[in-house]
Structure 1
């Protein structure tokens, strides 16, 4: 296991999903800081360190809801993958359905994975455990910028 704390940006407008994700990450064995924003505009401010987020760390991982108010999940995905300084950040797109069109479009825009949001707390725990096992404990990340 690596000895570092991972910064995770959760871009999720639904409070029940936020609670389930954050509860699951709190019980994770891998040290992490989860920051939650509910819109694409807030996510861009966070990533660009604007407004309330001037001291925000660059996220190691982005969990991105497909359906967002204001700047959509797809627009945010395009922005993240178009900017060379952000392209290395893994983006996991979260969808509430198994709509082939959403999944296909996400992968075409270079999402690193598409995940269907679980229904139960146990399923959220399982998903977060899978994210932890692969993305936080197996994948090599670039060193943090200082």
Structure 2
């Protein structure tokens, strides 16, 4: 088996611990690993990205995986903030959703994300994403 490739710093904005665990497992199965940061809702995610409060030393991630449904701030609100901010809109954002019809709607609406993927992520999805955004070269 080939040595896993480091793909950088990954922000998972996800409120389900099971989905976080599964996403990390899929990265491993796809042959990748990263430094993972988890925000469990939209307010925490924005605090992390804007380095506020306990996140003053938080890094800017190389990629963001954004669940679409949260209490307090929705995925759409987070994505809008990211796209309106020059310092953050360069970070690739992959929106995650749990249903096929919603995935189709999100893709059709093209809300400004760099990709839309059905949960749970599969290794093939991650391979495609890593290649598309050249993440496997993050520390080469």
Q: CA deviation at 1:27?
A: 5.4
For each residue in 1:48-86, what CA deviation from the matched residue of structure 2 results, as whole angstroms up to 9, or x when unmatched?
A: 111221111001101000112211000000000011111
Which of 10, 13, 20 does residue 11 from structure 1 map onto?
13
Q: How many residues align?
A: 132
Normalised TM-score (structure 2):
0.81
Which of 102, 106, 118 does residue 106 from structure 2 map onto?
102
Contact 1:91 1:112 in 2 (8 A): yes
Aligned counterparts of 1:85 and 1:61: Cα–Cα separation in 2: 14
Contact 1:97 1:116 in 2 (8 A): yes
Normalised TM-score (structure 1):
0.78
- Is 1:126 the equivalent of 2:128? no
Aligned counterparts of 1:7 and 1:68: Cα–Cα separation in 2: 22
Listed as ranges, the gaps of 5+ residues in structure 1 are: 142-146
- SS of 1:137 mapped into structure 2: helix
Q: Quick check: which one's strand share is greater?
A: 2
Contact 2:62 2:91 in 1 (8 A): yes
Aligned counterparts of 1:31 and 1:15: Cα–Cα separation in 2: 18
- Is 1:71 the equivalent of 2:73? yes
Q: What is the root-mean-square deviation of aligned Cα atoms in Å?
A: 2.4
Aligned counterparts of 1:47 and 1:23: Cα–Cα separation in 2: 24
Which residue in the other structure is 1:92 paired with? 94
Higher RCO by CA contacts (8 Å cutoff, separation 6 or greater): 2
